[in-house]
Amino acid sequence: MNLRERAEAFELVHLSEHACLSTQSKGRSIEEEQCDVRTVFQRDRDRITHSKAFRRLMHKTQVFLSPEGDHYRTRLTHTLEVSQISRTIARALSLNEDLTEAIALGHDLGHTPFGHCGEMALNDIHKYGFRHNVQSLRVVDIIEKRGQREGLNLTDEVRDGILNHSGPNVPYTLEGQIVRLSDRIAYINHDIDDAIRAGVMTLDQIPSAYIEAFGDTSSKRINSMIMNVIENSTDKHEIQMSPDVYELMLRLRNFMFDNVYLNEIAKGEEKKAKVIVKTLYQYLIDNPQYLKEEYDRCSSGDEFIVCVKDYIAGMSDRYIINKYSEIFIPKFWR
């Protein structure tokens, strides 16, 4: 019995009957020889963490555009916080921690530069619209490469969790449902922390009902929400909070929209960011020779339009600013 088989045997004995076992995976679109050491979900996790798209998350905005401080969240630190929360819940419920981690680490790979305002800009200008969860799946299915092969060839369970971490559909595995809920727990709480650090609001401005229910620090609020999920999901066929706590969390999210996400200070640079995304997108559409390598690969017409969208969405904040400057800002004569 090799190390992978030992890990699979451990899952069979120790994980919940509701867990998605590695041996029960629906598999990959292209069948592969099994690894002697890692289960299929562990391999997916490693493929995601070694991808270029994962590394670029380090320089992509979470909420605050171009923050000067080192302590504001980025898309990468958000991803790691979602992974940590998800793994805590999965372990407590005896679900598959490896599957949960792989989904969490891959859920935002398709996010644009400049956070959600970049997403809105691409959605406005791209012919087929833009949703970051759909783009995240496209990243792992097509854009990333393993050798000369398109895509990371991930298991169906990980792909489903990535696609459905947001949007109208719910993942079919409990592990994917954990990530979907953990994503909300993470961003609501760390965005409060960043907003206070940025001076956008103070702790005193948060309505007392939320403080009394969840706590007066980020760690207390996260712990309260995690514990509620565990208490209401143990031995259940779905991952859930109690209805009253879930409603209160949604109300806190709405409070954050009104006071942070739509705040003039936090969003002060968004108009500029949207101009950069839309202007660069249109320039590349009008000047296909600028992306000759992508143009050759994608032929012309709609295929090229999709390539431009992929190119823009994959950029980090600093890269798209540099690219915009290179094309549109006059250079000094030397």
Closest CA to 274 of 303, 311, 312, 327: 312
Name the domain boundary from 204, 232, 261: 261
Q: CA 122 to CA 92: how far, in whole Å?
A: 39
State the CATH number of the domain containing residue 49: 1.10.3210.10
Q: Which two tokens stand for residue 285?
A: 């559409």
pLDDT in tens, 9-26: 999 999 999 999 999 999
If one counts the domains in the chain, the total is: 2
**Residue 218 backbone zone (phi > 0: left; psi -120 to 50: alpha; other: beta):** alpha
Beta pairing partners, 150: 145
Q: What angle do CA 298, 102, 308 make, to 5 degrees?
A: 20
Domain span at 177: 3-10+35-261
Name the domain boundary from 211, 242, 261: 261
Instruction: Extract the tokens encoding 43.
Output: 């391999």
Q: Which residue has the tokens 């940025």?
A: 198
Q: What is the pTM of this model?
A: 0.94
Distance between CA atoms of residues 185 and 110, nearest Å: 20
Check whether residue 257 and residue 281 sit in a common domain. no
pLDDT by residue, tens only, the chain of 334 residues: 899 999 999 999 999 999 999 999 999 999 999 999 999 999 999 999 999 999 999 988 776 555 555 567 789 999 999 999 999 999 999 999 999 999 999 999 999 999 888 999 999 999 999 999 999 999 999 999 888 889 999 999 999 999 999 999 999 999 999 999 999 999 999 888 888 887 778 888 899 999 999 999 999 999 999 999 999 999 999 999 999 999 999 999 889 888 876 666 666 678 889 999 999 999 999 999 888 777 777 777 889 999 999 999 999 999 999 999 999 998 776 5
Asked if residue 108 and residue 190 are part of one domain, the reply reads yes
